Structure 1
Amino acid sequence: MSETGSINYWAVLGLDPGADASSLKRAFRQQARRWHPDLNGDDPHAEEQFKAVNEAYAVLSDPQRRQQWEAGLDEAAAAAAGLDPFATGFPDFEDYLDDVFHRETRRSAQYDSEEEPYQEDPPGDVTPPVPPPPPPVVASEELESVVDLTPEQALQGVRIELELPDGTAIEVWTPAMAGDGWRLRLAGVAPGGRDHFLQLRVRTDDGLRIDGLRVHYQLELSPAEGALGCTAVVPTLDGPVQLRIPPGSSSGRLLRLRARGLSRFDQRGDQLVEIRLVVPQGLTEAEEALYRRLQQLAEEIDGGRDRAVNQ
């Protein structure tokens, strides 16, 4: 441990003096990952820098030790008599974070997400309740399984129990704020050392798709409703609402319902409504005649535009 007063702990973590607890945690996690010896095998300075990062966080996150350091006192002697916490080696990075943040270990299988999970520490020491886990999943194929999650489970992360075709049992935690369609790669767990994938499905019975804090919904309309505009009833997580569809709405147009998504801490997502025009099947003779007339009108309009351009 460095001699007290010889190192600027704020500078070690890349912070301005007096940064809040949330910024301190984020900076510590970033610097610890950057300098962890297991992740920097070719850097001879990583071990000492990692120890400095650990020391800086230990002092700045403890009000008493931080006060002693700021006063220039010998906090090293007052805390653990200068013992080196890494004298017997360096733990796995995730286990190391679990121990520092006093959180329950979340992994017995590592995954690589094909989406970048959003992660942010809660303000202060507030820990949201963990939703109940979904029932055990039996792999539908040797290399991929589909896992259904509720919006709450996807938002907070949940423990998944997976049984592979060869009887191997795996436990894995999904990332917080996961979304519908995410694929998580479980490296080397399938027979022969192959990867197994978890595809997350986060949907409600009324057709809402969840992606982080945002909610997606596909609204089917007739061509006439899209052309002329209408009012449609749209489901949301808080119940159905009426949405005004502007005239001239084509397939693919997105309409936003603000603050109708999921909430996490002080953030609230939106709901996006995608317009999809659907042509009815089994047209009556009258409907077919109307569509043919519309087609003729469109051709006449396009022809008039072409003549105007050529003049």
Structure 2
Amino acid sequence: MTRSPAAPPDYWSVLGLEPGADAGSLKRAFRAQARRWHPDLNGNDPLAEERFKLVNEAYAVLSDPRRRQAWEAGGAGSGSAASEPQDPFATGFPDFEDYLDALLGDRRRPRRAVDADADAGFDSERDPEPADEPQPPRQGSGSVTASPPPPPPVQASSDQESLVELTPEQALQGERVELELADGTAVEVWTPPLAGDGWRLRLAGVTPGGGDHFLQLRVRTEEGLRIDGLRVLYPLELTPAEAALGCQVVVPTLRGEVKLRVPPGSSSGRLLRLRGRGQEWGELRGDQLVEVRIVVPEQLDEAEAALYRRLQELATDPDRP
């Protein structure tokens, strides 16, 4: 971004502040704007890089009394080409958290509990308010201090996932889940009520580099029942003969075993309903769905193979009525 030295930007407006704001407000505004425009968190915005540099420049000028006084006197705070500090982002942008640590002098704990809204996702502000004022580079009389070493390379964001196992009761009521992220941050999450097996809950922007963390919910019983809100799902495996001729079977439910009649001609994927055998929520009670799955033996003896061949012949006989 090219700007005339005679007309520098309004740094107060860049940070969204009124002129003369105190040091605490300046630091909070810089933190918010830096997070908003950090290129690592705005991969789809081509203007984020230049905007982020401008936010960094505005903070560097306004937090340095000498540069701020020069800027307010006639726009020389950012300096001419000879006095302007070397671009610290010439070799890339650091990870957002490391960047704030280095510039603001934060000393954060290795772990910190974060309250999360797992249903809607969240962006966690993981930096506590710094205790000390920043010490930006100062310009001496007739000389310029050496620029700091290049920042570390940007850490690419990556999504992560954790498996969370819940009982049917926990899934129904909602459960508090504690987990530790890769960077040591402790996160506390409440799962939503009426959750189900296979649900994925998104925690937005909490992994190192700004990626998302997903919670994969597993809600199953030892008998093979899968919970989905108020509904209960159960896969029923049948032999081809049982599915074709019909049969009576015993299936598990949340309140004990029941007998179920499978009608003849039941194909894989057919759903049989057991009314009122699902989860209970006040006066509401869900159903249990039994899904038919036809299982073919892996190995057949000679007699079984002969019977299947005969069935195949009958099925493909053009003279069969």
State the TM-score, normalized to the length of structure 1. Answer: 0.53
Compute the RMSD of aligned alpha carbons: 1.8
**1:129-168: CA deviation from partner (whole Å, max 9, x where unpaired):** xxxxxxxxxxxx9600010000000000010001112211
Tell me: CA distance 1:280–1:176, structure 2 relative to 1, closer, same or farther (3 Å). Answer: same
What is the alpha-carbon distance in structure 2 between the residues aligned to residue 113 and residue 270 of structure 1? 28
Q: Which amino acid aligns with 2:169?
A: E
Alignment correspondent of 1:253: 270
Please state if 1:182 is matched with 2:199.
yes
2:117: which partner in 1?
110
The answer on whether the counterparts of 1:111 and 1:187 sit within 8 Å (CA) in structure 2 is no
Aligned length: 172
Counterpart residue number, 1:37? none
1:209-264: CA deviations, max 9, x gaps? 00000000000000000000001110000011110000000000000000000100
CA–CA separation in structure 1 for the residues paired with 2:185 and 2:300: 54
Alpha-carbon distance in 1 for matches of 2:303, 2:183: 60
Instruction: Give me the whole-angstrom Cα distance separating, in 1, the residues matched to 2:298 and 2:290.
Output: 24
2:182 counterpart (154, 165, 168): 165
Q: Indicate whether 1:153 and 2:135 are aligned.
A: no
CA distance in 1 between counterparts of 2:119 and 2:272 reads 33
Letter in 2 for 1:109: A
In 1, Cα distance between equivalents of 2:200 and 2:279: 21
For the pair shown, the structure with the greater C-alpha radius of gyration is 2
Report the counterpart of residue 238 of structure 2 in structure 1: 221
**Counterparts of 1:110 and 1:253, CA distance in 2:** 37
**What secondary structure, in the 3-state scheme, does the structure 2 residue paired with 1:165 have?**
coil
Counterpart check, 1:299 vs 2:319: no
Q: Deviating runs (4+, > 2 A) in structure 1?
A: 110-114
Report if aligned partners of 1:154, 1:178 keep a CA contact under 8 Å in 2: yes
Partner residue of 1:206 out of 223, 234, 245: 223
Q: Distance in 1 between the 2:117 and 2:263 partners?
A: 47
The separation in 2 between residues aligned to 1:190 and 1:111, in whole angstroms, is: 15
Identical residues among aligned pairs (%): 71
Contact 1:110 1:187 in 2 (8 A): no
Secondary structure in 2 aligned to 1:259? coil
Equivalence for 1:283: 300
TM-score, normalised with respect to structure 2 = 0.52
Deviations 1:88-119 (A, max 9, x none): xxxxxxxxxxxxxxxxxxx81133469xxxxx
Any gaps of 5 or more consecutive residues in structure 2? 1-113, 122-157
SS of the residue 2:205 aligns to:
strand
- The one-letter code matched in structure 1 to 2:179 is L
Partners of 1:227 and 1:304 lie apart in 2 by 22
Matched-pair contact (CA < 8 Å) for 1:256–1:271: yes
2:160 & 2:194 partners in 1: Cα distance? Answer: 24
Could you tell me which amino acid in structure 1 is paired with residue 303 of structure 2? A
Q: In the aligned structure 1, how far is the partner of 2:246 from the partner of 2:190? A: 45
Q: Which amino acid aligns with 1:298?
A: A
